[in-house]
A = this chain, B = another copy of it.
Amino acid sequence: MRLPNHIGIIPDGNRRWAESKGLSKEKGYGPGINPGLTLFKLCQQAKIKEITYYGFTVDNTKRPTEQRIAYTDACIKAVEILSKENADLLVLGNSDSPMFPKELLPFTARRTFGEGGIKVNFLVNYGWEWDLNSLKMAEPTQRNIINCVKSAEVSRVDLIIRWGGRRRLSGFLPVQSIYADFYVVDDYWPDFKPEHFFQALQWYKEQDITLGG
């Protein structure tokens, strides 16, 4: 079976899930932590080489404070849980900003946890403008654009899976996502089921790879 090397994960729909249960919006983030671990284990079993979670973005920090606290807390917990697995873990985002949780500063250089193996990137206070801005500092002779962005540690994405039904990238790694195939799950992220992942892999297998050629 043809597998993606690198899967991007956009776990959207937490707030709509909370509302659908009659809960206030910020209650939707905590129930997104376990699905993240389940998906990690499925990727590991499937021998996926790299995964990137869209934690939260600079854009997201404009939301009400109680939501910001709740999604930041969920990201901290998720990274702590992943650091108990076998993974090469990196948290990536604008860590110069007060919106970046200090608990995650020790993860901003890639480190091997357990036996390592799968590369896991977790985007925290990530911004597409922050990412591309470093191109302005690049040497014009440096040809490869991926090497010049702040997310240079993150490789080209083959498959993006987005939960919550929306069909857009919302700033997710614009350079690495240029050729990515984009699979949308209508269910909200807290309603994650392993079938979503298997269906996405099955769909991906049927796509051709042309890299724009």
A residues bordering B, Cβ < 8 Å? 57, 59-60, 62-63, 128-129, 132-133, 135-140, 142, 145, 148, 166-171, 174-175, 177-183, 207, 210-213
Can you name the residue of chain B whose Cβ is closest to the Cβ of A181? B168
- A167 CA to B180 CA, complexed, in Å: 8
Tell whether A171 pairs with B128 under 8 Å between CB atoms, given A135-B136, A137-B140: no
Tell whether A167 pairs with B182 under 8 Å between CB atoms, given A136-B140, A213-B60: yes
- Shortest Cβ distance from residue A8 to the other chain B in the assembled complex, whole angstroms: 12
Q: In terms of DSSP, what is the predominant structure of the interface of chain A?
A: loop
Q: What B residues does A57 contact at CB under 8 A? A: 212
CB <8 Å contact, B207 and A180: no
Q: What B residues does A178 contact at CB under 8 A? A: 128, 169-171, 174
